[in-house]
Chain A
Amino acid sequence: MEDGTPARPASADDASAGREHENRVASLFPARWQAVRAELRRWLAKIIEGLSLREGNLFLVLSVVIGLASGLLVVCFHISIEWIHLWSFGSSLSSSPLRLLLVPTVAGLGIAACVMTFFRQVRGSGVNQTKAAVYIYDGYIPFRTVIGKFLLSALAIGSGQSLGPEDPSLQIGAGLASAVGRRLRLSREKIRMIAPVGAAAGLAAAFNAPISAMIFVLEEVVGQWSAGVLGAIILAAVSSAVVMRGFLGSEPLFRVPATANGVAHPSEFLAYGVLGVIGGFAGLTFTKVIVYLRPRLKALPRSTQYFQPAIAGLIIGIIGLGFPQVMGSGYYFIDQAMHAQYVWQVLALLAVFKIAATTVSFTSGTPGGMFAPTLFIGAMIGGAVGGVERHFFPALTGPVGTYALVGMGTMFAAFLRAPMTSVFMILELSGNYSIILPVMVSNTIAYLISRRYQAVSLFDMLSRQDGVELPSIEEQREKTAFRVEDAMRPIRDPVLSGSETFRDALQRIDQSSEQRFLVNLGRGVWNLIARETIQEQVRAGKGDQPLNTQVRAAPLPWLHPDQSLDTALRLIAGRPSLPVVSRAHPERLQGVVTLNDILDVYGQAGTRA
């Protein structure tokens, strides 16, 4: 992201270059051929005219194109990982010890060399890089990043580094979208918006779960449910998921056992609570270790960065001698854990070793994602908790698969701090609504523990370590929204009526020090009248005329107490104050708000922060 630059505009001599090219072609071909060519061009022009779209519509069409293209790229990415794994480790699940040690080490050397030489910006996860593109670089992601991410992440994951393909897929999609947007000369606003669209498409294809991908991108990358981008994200995510399913089948990444549904006994919620606590602390530990180790490894001399991925690979290879399951993305082993293949002791050990393996892989700067390892660790922890409970309370325990499934969501909530995505992801993957209560119980506990002991989320910490201050979506989400009721003041000055005469009004405002007064013109119409105006009218002998003869035009906008202060700020411009009225009875005044009142509220909030 440090290499990111603003969008490069089109070449200055495009038009003249085109003319020169035509002249050159004309000199090369006979007249008949030129006639045919002209005819073809006429037809092409007709087709292109038919394609002429306004930018908003073009953006939606592009969302589908980006979705399809991202889906295709992610399919190729997936196949590349599988091929590399096959070539590296053979077709058996259990490889020879020599391969387990050599492959990730040698691949690590190659990856480091490529990262240091050609693709410096592909280090680590793609989520922050996409976020940086949206918030800092106007949606610009160099296409070289897409190529680097594709090749090096495939090599890393295929050679057994403990990382996942989802974050790279997200960045591949975002990078592709950015390139297409720039090439089609979209406006800056649209280019900025198109990167998340591509990100959602990439993630949807990688996860084979479009709803989760959309929610994650809205929750973590965009940070708001903006109507402008929502439709495009949906189109892109669905298109890419369709492509993925068309080519690689509709099977999810891991097959959820048919037994994984709901709770066997209400007391099982206690077990899910325990799972939430364990998952929360596991996520916390995982975050703390990464946050501690990453800057220290990065601070080592530059020459060591050529070897860090190789050393990480060697460590993972050593772990892989005993627990080969921790190598690579590990989806197949999540599947096996959910089908009760392992006893709880093995599951617990797998969770611990996966945390260690992923930490060294990620902090060494190897490109790859954190989603799959998070799900793996969660599944193992969940399975272990389910296994322990089954051991001690066999009659009360549901299938281990349910615990593994809930564990995945729990870890997702605790480590990646995306609580909404964590719930929807489990629902989408399991296709089972009955699991929602355990998921919500466990995820909430894990999320709260993680928040309590680690104020800043992992993604925000990583960007801060890189010296980039990206907006914290989590903080935005939890920021207090000020309302009109926080700033409005009670009515102390007289409120005049439109039917009242100027003379009566003057008598009523005599005791007040204010210069402007609200006038109720009936049926929820309000306006202001100055003291000076009233006095002038009385002096001019119009004291017996009603006020509404003067204040009928250009009524004031009014506010309701629950509206945001941002709305009030927009409406109050150029006006001394605004009435705050009841929603049910717009003629009933509840208070008034002035610009100073609004600024006071923001000022106090700023002081507290």
Chain B
Amino acid sequence: MRGDRICPKCGQTIPRGTAECPICARPISFYLRRETLLLVCFAVLAILFTITGFAVKLYHGREQSLARSWYNRGENSLQKRDAAGAIEDFRNALFHEPGEPLYQLRLAQALTNSDHFLEARSYLLRLWAGDPANGPVNLALARLTISQGGPPSQVITYFQSAIDGVWNGQTEDRFAIREELCEYLIDHGERTEAAVELAALAPETPNNAKLITQVGTLFSQAQDYALALKEFQQSLHLNAHQPDAWAGAGQAAFALGQYRAATHELSRAVAERSQDPDAVRVLGLARDILEINPFDRHIPVQDRRRRAFRAFQTAMVRLNQCAQSKGETLGVQDPQSKLQTVYADALKMKPQVQSKAFQRNPDLLDSEMGLVFRIEEVTKDECGAPSGLDEALVLISSKNGAPD
């Protein structure tokens, strides 16, 4: 006989003298059997799933619509150049849809524009970790790295990833990014890298005069004047009424030593009211070169001699003015300074320049112009950059007298 015990199954007291728990030993209705109740549990679970699914759908719908509305407000704020307002709006959008990459990206971009670099970087790197091939994220990182003064290698990597990344078929964007990369490379003196990128950019350029002009300008900035001229000419072929393209073409031609073409294109640029401030100056210079260059193959011998003589006179005037400004006396017995030395050489050359021997001995032209160039170089070193015809002579000298 056992005493009072606790039923291990239900926890109730088993009365003295009873072997089994009176509650647990009682037959259980079919409906209250464990298995039936388990089945009911599954059914309840299914209903709960349905209800929760419905509630979640409603909730997500509401959150998405709120997030979208805040996002749109943020975009409007950005258009109004209200970066602070945009940041707040994008934050609100993210509050409702924290995982949305677009909102994070836009917030990061707004933060970058407001110089909140650390926070922007944090968002962007997280996005990047989730999708390293995302074009816009890589671009934003490239821009952020530029703003933070990061290493060029990293900037280039991000730009390259942006160019090669996924852009949802927006080819226009790829072009703009490569252009931005080229500008960055040119600004940082990476001309070789820039030339490589430009070579890739040119074939990608859409058949749009304005865009082709931009590419031409980049080629000019990268000092690849031949390709720059080609791009400008292509652009002008599409639309001849582009003062900047004319100016660009003129300057590229000028840099290539094609002064006659440069004069033509720059004249057109001036006529089309180009905004390029250098156009008029370079045009004047080109005209001066065409006026004074004795090596021009298109002129007769008499003109050549006349031009050489004028160049000599111009150089002598420049030499005298330079000596005066420095308080130096040129006509001394024993020349000491560079100015005095070239002046002495000029005095020796002067009789020959003025004689008729010049016509009999064309080599004299080279000697005379050699002296002229030397005078211009010395005066440039001693008295600063020349202007007008003197500048033209220096340029002719730098091109080694290359004919047009």
Closest Cβ of chain B to A250, distance in Å, is 9
Alpha-carbon gap, A220 to B107, bound state (A): 41
Task: Specify the main secondary structure of chain B where it touches its partner.
Answer: helix
List the A residue with the shortest CB-CB distance to B29.
A18
**When the two chains form their complex, are residues B8 and A189 in contact, meaning their CB atoms are under 8 A apart?**
yes
Interface centre among A92, A138, A249, A335 (most CB of B within 10 A): A92
Set of chain A residues within 8 Å of B122, measured between Cβ atoms: 257, 259, 338-340, 399, 401
- From residue 1 to 55 of chain A, which have CB atoms closer than 8 A to chain B? 6-7, 9-10, 12, 14-15, 17-18, 41, 45, 47-49, 51-53
Question: Is A69 in the interface zone, CB < 8 Å from B?
Answer: yes
Alpha-carbon gap, A14 to B6, bound state (A): 22
Closest Cβ of chain B to A493, distance in Å, is 43
Question: Is B318 in the interface zone, CB < 8 Å from A?
Answer: no
**When the two chains form their complex, are residues B11 and A138 in contact, meaning their CB atoms are under 8 A apart?**
yes
Closest Cβ of chain B to A79, distance in Å, is 5
Set of chain A residues within 8 Å of B128, measured between Cβ atoms: 258
Interface centre among A10, A72, A339, A400 (most CB of B within 10 A): A339
**When the two chains form their complex, are residues B28 and A14 in contact, meaning their CB atoms are under 8 A apart?**
yes
With A51-B35, A65-B45 as contacts: A82 and B59 at CB distance below 8 Å: yes
User: How many of A's residues come within 8 Å of B, CB to CB?
Assistant: 63
List the A residue with the shortest CB-CB distance to B53.
A247
Question: Is A94 in the interface zone, CB < 8 Å from B?
Answer: yes
Closest Cβ of chain A to B103, distance in Å, is 12
When each residue 52-63 of chain B gets 1 if its CB lies under 8 Å from chain A and 0 otherwise, what string results?
110110010011
With A10-B23, A68-B45, A340-B118 as contacts: A188 and B125 at CB distance below 8 Å: no
Closest Cβ of chain A to B263, distance in Å, is 56
Question: Is B32 in the interface zone, CB < 8 Å from A?
Answer: yes
With A15-B29, A257-B126 as contacts: A187 and B37 at CB distance below 8 Å: no
Question: Is A478 in the interface zone, CB < 8 Å from B?
Answer: no
Give the contact stretch, choosing among B92-100, B247-255, B282-290: B92-100
Question: Is A270 in the interface zone, CB < 8 Å from B?
Answer: no
List the A residue with the shortest CB-CB distance to B125.
A258
- From residue 271 to 306 of chain B, which have CB atoms closer than 8 A to chain A? none
Question: Is B38 in the interface zone, CB < 8 Å from A?
Answer: yes
- From residue 258 to 299 of chain A, which have CB atoms closer than 8 A to chain B? 258-259
Interface centre among A83, A91, A248 (most CB of B within 10 A): A91
Alpha-carbon gap, A338 to B27, bound state (A): 61
**When the two chains form their complex, are residues A76 and B125 in contact, meaning their CB atoms are under 8 A apart?**
no
Set of chain B residues within 8 Å of A45, measured between Cβ atoms: 30
Question: Is A455 in the interface zone, CB < 8 Å from B?
Answer: no
Set of chain A residues within 8 Å of B55, measured between Cβ atoms: 75-76, 79
Question: Is B159 in the interface zone, CB < 8 Å from A?
Answer: no
With A189-B8, A340-B122 as contacts: A15 and B28 at CB distance below 8 Å: yes
Alpha-carbon gap, A94 to B70, bound state (A): 13
**When the two chains form their complex, are residues B29 and A14 in contact, meaning their CB atoms are under 8 A apart?**
yes
Question: Is A93 in the interface zone, CB < 8 Å from B?
Answer: yes
Question: Is B66 in the interface zone, CB < 8 Å from A?
Answer: yes
When each residue 93-124 of chain B gets 1 if its CB lies under 8 Å from chain A and 0 otherwise, what string results?
00110110000000000000000101101110
Set of chain A residues within 8 Å of B98, measured between Cβ atoms: 251, 255, 332, 335
Alpha-carbon gap, A308 to B42, bound state (A): 42
**When the two chains form their complex, are residues A10 and B32 in contact, meaning their CB atoms are under 8 A apart?**
yes
Set of chain B residues within 8 Å of A304, measured between Cβ atoms: none
- From residue 300 to 348 of chain B, which have CB atoms closer than 8 A to chain A? none
Alpha-carbon gap, A14 to B26, bound state (A): 9
- From residue 5 to 32 of chain B, which have CB atoms closer than 8 A to chain A? 6-12, 23-24, 26-32
Closest Cβ of chain B to A30, distance in Å, is 22
Closest Cβ of chain A to B18, distance in Å, is 15
**When the two chains form their complex, are residues B92 and A91 in contact, meaning their CB atoms are under 8 A apart?**
yes
Alpha-carbon gap, A257 to B49, bound state (A): 33
When each residue 205-249 of chain A gets 1 if its CB lies under 8 Å from chain B and 0 otherwise, what string results?
000000000000000000000000000000000000000000111
Alpha-carbon gap, A93 to B67, bound state (A): 12
Q: Which residues of A contact B (CB under 8 A)?
A: 6-7, 9-10, 12, 14-15, 17-18, 41, 45, 47-49, 51-53, 58, 61-62, 65, 68-69, 72-73, 75-76, 79, 82-83, 86, 91-94, 138, 180, 183-185, 187-189, 191, 247-249, 251, 255-259, 332, 335-336, 338-341, 399-401
Q: Which residues of B contact A (CB under 8 A)?
A: 6-12, 23-24, 26-39, 41-42, 44-45, 48-49, 51-53, 55-56, 59, 62-63, 66, 69-70, 88, 91-92, 95-96, 98-99, 116, 118-119, 121-123, 125-126, 128-130
